[in-house]
Structure 1
Amino acid sequence: MSRGFDAIIIGAGQAGPPLAGRLTAEGMSVALIERHLIGGTCVNTGCMPTKAMVASAYAAHLVRRAGEYGVGIGGDITVDMARVQARAHGITRDAREGNTRWLEGMERLTLIRGHARFTGPSAIEVDGERLTAPRIFLNVGGRALVPDLPGVDRVPFLTNSSILQLTEVPEHLLVVGGSYIGLEFAQMFRRFGARVSVVERSPRIVMREDEDVSEALQSLLEDEGIAIRTGAECIRLQPGREGGVAIAVDCADGPPVMEGSHLLLAVGRVPNTADLGLDAAGVETDARGYVTVDEHLKTSADGVWALGDCNGRGAFTHTAYNDYEIVAANLLDGANRKVGARVSGYALYTDPPLGRVGMSESEARKSGRPLLIAKRPMSRVGRAKEKGETKGFMKLIADAETHRILGAAILGTGGDEAIHGILDAVHAGMDYRTLRWAVPIHPTVSELIPTLIMDLAPA
C-alpha cells in the first residue's frame, strides 16, 4: 500500500505542527508522523513540566523566607512531591491534548502514529505502509545522553525525563553534570528538601559561560546548601548501600567517594536520528548524529529539510520554532531567511535566572575587537532590593568602533525577561547610544539597561 502527499513531516515537536499549519493553509496535503508524544521535548519532558516544578520549588523557597518579608507562618514547611508532579503533569497534559485536537481537526492533514524510516530519497515507510512526497521535513528532536561511564550499567539512574516521575523527594540526589539541566534540577530538588551534590568533570560549572557567571552561580547554589565538586576527571559509578548509588571521583578536594539515594545523569543530549534510515535518502549527519544542514536548513538530500534539535543549529524551543519560520518564509513567502542571521539568546532557569544574548565576554575578547564592557551587581538594582533578591549581576559587552552591542548577561531576578530589551537591540543592529536614550519603566530590572550603557568603558 502506498500513499502520496505534497509534504511529509516526521516529528510533532515545536517546528512540525506549525509547519503543517502553514503548508495545509497553502492547500497542500500533509502527513505528520509522530511515534511518541505530540509536542516533543518542550511540552512533555522539557520546558513545561520542569518550569512548573521550578515554580513549585520557588514557592517552597519563598515560604521559608517569609519572615524576611514580615510575614508569619505557622508549622513546618512540607513538600508533597506527588502533588508537585501532578500539577506539572496536568500542565503538560493540557498542552499536549490541545495540540493534538488542533492537529486532528486540521484540514488536509493526516496525523499518523508510528515510526518513520526512509526507504528512498522521497519515500517513507511507517509500519509497513509506504508514503511519498517531494518535500520531507525532519523534526525528530533529541533525548538525554547516557554517558559511557564506568559502572553505568550497574546502577539505577535518572535522566531529565524519568526524574519527572518521582513522587517522593530523594534523600540525597547526586547529579552528574554541572550545566544547565543539571543545575536546574539540583536547585529544584534542594528546595524540595533533598540533599544535593553536583559532580562536574570540567574545572567549573557551566563552562560555556564566562568565569564570573560560573563563580556567581556556584556561590548562590552553595549558599542554598548544594555541594559542588568540579574537576572530576575520572567518574566511576557503583552500587551504594541500601539500594543507593555511589560515585567515585578524582577531584582536587573532597572525599573520593560520594553516596546518595538517587542519581541524575545530566551530561548532554543526542539527536533522535540513528534509526530513521537516513542513508537510504542520502541525508548526511555529523560525527554526533546531527543532520547536516545549510543556512536554509536544507539537508544534503534534495527535498529534505531538518528542523529543531536534530540539526545541531540550536537546542531550544525558540530556535526550533524559528527554524519553522525560516523554512516557511523561504518556501511559501519567497524570502531568503538564513539560520546564521539568528541572534543567539537563551536562559538558565536557576533562581535567580541567567538571561544571555550574543557573545560572552571571553568570546568577544577572542575576536580581537576593541571592547567596551560594563558590569553592575544586582545589589545596586532597586527592583532587586525591593524583592529581596539581590544576588547576581548585569553585564554588557559592546564594540568600541561600531558602537554595536555584542552580548550581555543578566544573572539576577527577572534576568530571563529583562534580557529581551538587549536581544531586540542586537537583532535590530542598533547603536547602543540609541538604546541609552530609551525611557524604561520604573521600578524594573530593565530600567538599568540605559544606566549600564552609560557605564561602558574600555576593557
Structure 2
Amino acid sequence: MSKPGKFDRNLIVIGAGAAGLVSAYIAAAVKARVTLVEAGAMGGDCLNTGCVPSKALIKCARVAQQARDAHRFGVGLAEPQIDFPRVMRYVRDSIRKIAPHDSVERYTGLGVEVLQGRAQLVDPWTVKIALNDGSEQILTARAIILATGAEPLVPPLPGLERIDYVTSDTLWDRFARLQRVPEKLLVLGGGAVGCELAQAFARLGTRVTLAEKAGRLLPLEDGEVSAAVEAALKAEGIEVLTAHEALSFQPAESAAGSARLRGADGDRLLEFEQLLLALGRRARVSGFGLEALGIVDDGKLHTDPFLRTRYPHILAAGDLVGPYQFTHMASHQAWYAAVNGLFGDLKKFAVDYSLVPRAVFVEPEVASVGLTEEQAKEKDIPYQVTRYGIDDLDRAIVDGAARGFVKVLTVPGRDKILGVAIVGENAAELIAEFVLAMKHGLGMNRILGTIHIYPTMAEANKYAAGNWKRANAPERLLRWLERFHRWRRG
C-alpha cells in the first residue's frame, strides 16, 4: 500500500450528486485533471428522488388547493379533479428538463472526465471502476473525494418486511404506475420530508395520518414554527399524531397493512393503503472499499473540520458527511473538499457552518437561520425576541396569505442578529435578506434603513426590524427631545 510515484489524476470524485458535481466542476475550473464516477443517474438524490420531484409534486398539490380556495377571491370553481398519472408525468417532466444541468455532456464540456460505473477504493490512492458497459478501469489519484450521499433510514421493526412500504427514494417509480392517489396514507416521520409529502398527498385527495415519535413536528425547528405547521396540517384534514412511536406492522384484511402505534394514551392499531417511511437518512458507505481502509467505523464515516478522513488526501462531502443534509450544504462543502483536496498541503480551510439556512416547503412555508429560541436556552445564550405578525402585512392581506410571522433573536440591547425563523408565504425567499445581513455583520438597524418595495412580502423583514427599534428606543434621548421640542414651541 505504498504511495505511487506519479498519479493518473489530480482528483477522483465518487458520486455525482450536488457535492460531487460541484467538487468536479471546481477542480476542472482550476485546470486539474479530474474524473467523476457515478454508477446511477447523474444529479444524485436531489434531482432524481429528492428536491426536484418533491417540489414538483408540491406545486401540483398547491394548484389543487388554490382551486379549492378560489371562492375566497370571488371565483367559483368546482372541486378539482386529480388526474394522478398526469401529476406524476409533470414530476417526471420537471426532472427531465433540469437533468441537462447535471448531465454527462455538460460536465464533459466543462473539462470533467465522467465515468459511469461503480467505484471501489483498492488502496488509499487507487480506485477500481466497474464500468456500466462491463469493462473495468483502474486509476490512481493524488486526492479522492467521497460524495456517495445518503439513503432512507428503514428501522428494523417487527413485520415491516411484510409491508410493501415506500420511502422518499422509491415512491416516485412506484407511484408513477398508479392510476389514482392512495386512499389512506400513513407517513412515519414528522421532519421536513414527512410534513411536505403529507400535505402534498392530502391536497391531492389522500386521507393522511402523520405520526412523529417526538413531542412535536419539525423537532429541530423553533417551537412556534412547529406549532404553526401542525395547526396548518390539521386545518387541511391531516391527522397528526405527535409523541407516537411505531411498534410493529402486519398485513390487514381490508387494507394493505396496519401499524401498531404507541402514544401517551396507549396503543392504537391504524390501517393504511400505503406506508411512507420518512424517518431520516443515513450515510451511504457500503460497497466502496472504505471499511477495509479503516475509513468507516460501525457504519459511520468521520472527517475533521477540513473534511479529511484518516487519510488526509481522501475527503468527503455532502449527505455522506452531514451534519446538515441539504443540497445547498453539499454544494457549500464541495468547495472546501475540492480546495483542500487539491491544495491542502499548501493551504487548507475549515468548513464554515456558522450560517446554514434551511427551509420546509409546506404551506405556510418555513425558513430558518441561526439559533432557535430553544437552542439559545440550551446554550445559555442571552437573547431578545422580536416578532412581527404577517397577518398585518398589506401584501399578505391582498394575496390571501395573511398568516405566519417573522421571529428574530438578537443580542439584548444590541441589533446583532442571532437567529431568525419565518413562517409565511415565500419564507424561503424572505430569509435570504437575514442570511446576508448575518453573514456580513449587519444588524436590525441596517435592515430598517433599507428601502423595501411596497407592497411586497419582503416588507415583513423591515417591519420586524421596526418592531425591534421600538422595543429598543433610546428613552433617555427621547425624553430630552421631548423637552427640546417643547422649548422650540415657546
TM-score, length of structure 2 as denominator length: 0.87
Q: Distance in 2 between matches of 1:402 and 1:120?
A: 54
* More moved, 273-282 vs 310-319: 273-282
Deviation at 1:379, TM superposition (A): 1.3
Query: Secondary structure at the residue paired with 2:319?
Result: helix
Q: Distance in 2 between matches of 1:105 and 1:233?
A: 48
Instruction: Check conservation: 2:376, 2:382, Cα contact below 8 A.
Output: no
Query: Which of 368, 390, 403 is residue 402 of structure 2 equivalent to?
Result: 390
Query: Secondary structure at the residue paired with 2:166?
Result: coil
Which residue is equivalent to 1:292? 302
Query: Secondary structure at the residue paired with 2:304?
Result: coil
Which residue is equivalent to 1:453? 465
Query: Secondary structure at the residue paired with 1:448?
Result: helix
Q: How does 1:172-251 map to 2 (within 5 A)?
A: 172-251=184-263
Deviation at 1:454, TM superposition (A): 3.1
Which residue is equivalent to 1:318? 328
Instruction: Check conservation: 2:188, 2:279, Cα contact below 8 A.
Output: yes
In our comparison, the structure showing a higher alpha carbon Rg is 2
Root mean square deviation of aligned Cα:
2.2
Query: Which of 427, 433, 450 is residue 439 of structure 2 equivalent to?
Result: 427
Q: Distance in 2 between matches of 1:402 and 1:277?
A: 52
Instruction: Check conservation: 1:370, 1:401, Cα contact below 8 A.
Output: no
Q: Distance in 1 between matches of 2:110 and 2:56?
A: 33
> What whole-Å deviation, never above 9, does each CA across 1:351-388 have from its counterpart, x for those lacking one?
11101111101111223233111122221122221111
- Does residue 21 of structure 1 match 2:25? yes
Q: Distance in 1 between matches of 2:286 and 2:348?
A: 31
Q: Distance in 2 between matches of 1:37 and 1:185?
A: 23
Instruction: Check conservation: 1:3, 1:130, Cα contact below 8 A.
Output: no
Letter in structure 2 aligned against 1:125: K
Shift in alpha-carbon separation, 1:320–1:234, aligned structure 2, 3 A? closer
Which residue is equivalent to 1:269? 281
Instruction: Check conservation: 2:255, 2:272, Cα contact below 8 A.
Output: no
TM-score, length of structure 1 as denominator length: 0.93
Shift in alpha-carbon separation, 1:402–1:294, aligned structure 2, 3 A? farther
Query: Which of 86, 110, 115 is residue 112 of structure 1 equivalent to?
Result: 115
> What whole-Å deviation, never above 9, does each CA across 1:387-439 have from its counterpart, x for those lacking one?
11223222110112553201111111111110111111111122332222122
Letter in structure 1 aligned against 2:320: C
Query: Which of 153, 158, 175 is residue 161 of structure 2 equivalent to?
Result: 153
Q: How does 1:94-173 map to 2 (within 5 A)?
A: 94-103=97-106, 105-106=108-109, 108-127=111-130, 128-165=136-173, 166=175, 167=178, 168-173=180-185
Query: Secondary structure at the residue paired with 1:250?
Result: strand
> What whole-Å deviation, never above 9, does each CA across 1:223-267 have from its counterpart, x for those lacking one?
000001111135321112245121111213587111111000111
Deviation at 1:151, TM superposition (A): 1.5
Give aligned pairs, total: 454
Letter in structure 1 aligned against 2:167: T
- Does residue 45 of structure 1 match 2:49? yes
* More moved, 33-42 vs 368-377: 368-377
* More moved, 276-285 vs 151-160: 276-285
Which residue is equivalent to 2:430? 418
Identity of aligned residues (%): 31
Q: Distance in 1 between matches of 2:294 and 2:106?
A: 30
Which residue is equivalent to 2:356? 344
> What whole-Å deviation, never above 9, does each CA across 1:304-331 have from its counterpart, x for those lacking one?
1111110123211101111122334554
Letter in structure 2 aligned against 1:57: A
Which residue is equivalent to 2:477? none
> What whole-Å deviation, never above 9, does each CA across 1:266-311 have from its counterpart, x for those lacking one?
11001111221113444245x5x44322222222212111111101
Q: Distance in 2 between matches of 1:254 and 1:307?
A: 43
Shift in alpha-carbon separation, 1:206–1:374, aligned structure 2, 3 A? same
* More moved, 36-45 vs 228-237: 228-237
Letter in structure 2 aligned against 1:339: V
Instruction: Check conservation: 1:123, 1:130, Cα contact below 8 A.
Output: yes
Q: Distance in 2 between matches of 1:69 and 1:142?
A: 44
Letter in structure 2 aligned against 1:306: A
